[in-house]
Amino acid sequence: MSKVPQLIKDGQVQAVALSERVHWIGALDPTLRTFDIILKTANGTSYNAYAVRGSEGVAIIDTVKENFAGDFFARLETVARYDEIKVIVLNHLEPDHTGALPELMRRAPQAQLYISQKAQSMLKALLKQDEFEFTPVMTGDQVTLGDRSLEFFHTPYLHWPDTQCTYLPEERILFSGDVFGCHFCDLRLFNDEVGDFRFSFEYYYAHIMRPFKEHVNRALDLIEPLLPISQIAPAHGPLLRDQPQRYVHRYRELSRAVQQSETGEGPKTLLIFYISSYGNTRRMAEAIYEGAMTVNNVRVSLFDLEGGEIAPFVDLIEGADGLLFGTPTINGDAVKPVWDLLSSLAVVNLKTKLGGVFGSYGWSGEAVKMVEDRLRGLKLRVPIPGLRVKLIPTEEEIRNCREFGLELARELTGVRQSRVIDMADLA
């Protein structure tokens, strides 16, 4: 029979023990359906915070979203007095973890606040208060609670610059912040008791950690030497006490896919996405495809956005070296499927990729420039100005399209010649 931890007793919320000296003092938010505007959650989330008792004092690790502070303080009070709190650790300063911090520091003014070095500039901006004293810490720094201690591991960009993990070596418990977390709310709290949260774990990784794979790998280089860990205590979702190493290994698997563009190995990949109302942008796309195909060591693919789904395209884009987008101009704008795909790219790292834009238009043709600006905003390199054609491309314009594809493919392989400027042309 499932063992539901007693979160409420006699009408009062209760802390939940991870061990004799470590308690969960967080809050559940079961009705939340959208987190941070972009993340969906089908059954809410939790804001996990923890209390660690040592022989010389108590540490509080993270707090909760401000409007859940009541539950947090009530749970805290079931395991510690405020005058026992010696240490407050914030693994990450996003408001879902710092909402109750000002009030906690007011109730425990003797406590010392520990944050990462990178969190210093954020603390003031987030809390809009000047009077906080704090100690910035780096990887390897420790604080003692007597017979318990906490060690800090700076894990930047998982998923903010400030993020760190905190380790309790005497019990081998890792307080991991957002890392290994997910938005999943279940009264049973522990991963061996809650419902199936695999989808939530993968979804959270894909939307929060995936853009920072190289940083995830560096963080895992710090975390893996700690294995075997007895429990992972993340800032959201189930507490991972059953086979916690599985989640560490899964993060490594998900982050291992090194892009060909990073290794420089294999052919370069060029993806051409287009959508066409009357076939004119399609004709351009096909000619660009033909031109790019003539370049050795470039693998070119052509996709009509009308026949595809966003998610697999995003996966393809993550592994590609070059991206071309073809769009007509309709009512002075690029068309929705193009914007939809571009707006889905926040989850991948685009910085090393090459981009280009083309399209047919009727009378104004703003779309190409608009998409080009967007690509530059997403940090793609756009080495060749976008190619526009008025209505049906002529034979000469089709040749220009082939040349456009060929030049972009050459740019990918690093063999494109710089254009020689004839001074006579400038006269």
Which residues contact ligand FEO by CB under 6 A?
92, 94, 96-97, 159, 178, 235-236
**Cis peptide bond upstream of 156, omega within 30:** no
Of 64 and 342, nearer to ligand FEO (C-beta) is 64
Both tokens assigned to 259: 């892009």
Cα–Cα distance, 293 to 426 (Å, whole number) = 33
Nearer to ligand FEO, 178 or 407 (CB): 178
Bridging pattern class, strands 57-61 and 27-29: unpaired
CA 64 to CA 11: how far, in whole Å?
21
Cα of 109 vs its chain's centroid, Å:
34
Which residue in the shown chain puts its C-beta closest to ligand FEO?
94
Residue 47 CB, nearest approach to ligand FEO (Å): 8
Q: What is the DSSP letter of 226?
A: G
Q: Which is nearer to ligand FEO, 31 or 352 (CB)?
A: 31
Torsional class of 224: left (φ above 0), alpha (ψ -120 to 50), beta (otherwise): alpha
The least distance separating ligand FEO from the CB of residue 243, rounded to whole angstroms, comes to 23
Least distance from C-beta 240 to ligand FEO, angstroms?
Answer: 16
Q: Are 211 and 153 in contact (CB under 8 A)?
A: no
What is the rounded distance in angstroms from the CA atom of residue 359 to the CA atom of residue 391? 9
State the alpha helices, DSSP H only, in 108-226.
Answer: 120-127, 198-204, 213-223
Q: Which is nearer to ligand FEO, 94 or 397 (CB)?
A: 94
How far from 91 is each of 25, 88, 239, 413, CA to CA, in Å? Answer: 15, 10, 16, 43
Give the tokens for residue 130. Answer: 């000047």
Between 235 and 284, name the residue whose CB sits nearer to ligand FEO: 235
For residue 133, the number of C-alpha atoms closer than 13 Å in the C-beta half-sphere is 7
* Minimum gap (Å) between residue 177 Cβ and ligand FEO: 7
Nearer to ligand FEO, 86 or 207 (CB): 207
CB of 197 to ligand FEO, least distance (A): 16
Q: Output the smallest distance, CB 148 to ligand FEO, in A.
A: 25
Q: How far apart are CA 237 and CA 39, in angstroms?
A: 14
For the CB of residue 237, give the shortest distance to ligand FEO in the complex, in Å. 10
Residue nearer to ligand FEO on the CB measure, 22 or 122: 122
Cα–Cα dist 371/356, whole Å = 9
**Cβ partners under 8 Å of residue 35, min gap 6:** 41, 45, 183
Q: Which is nearer to ligand FEO, 178 or 372 (CB)?
A: 178
Q: How far is the CB of 208 from ligand FEO (least distance, A)?
A: 7
CB of 93 to ligand FEO, least distance (A): 9
Residue 76 or 179 with smaller CB distance to ligand FEO = 179
Name the token pair of 135. 């100690």
Structure tokens at 228: 């075997």
Nearest to 306 by CA among 347, 267, 274, 349: 274
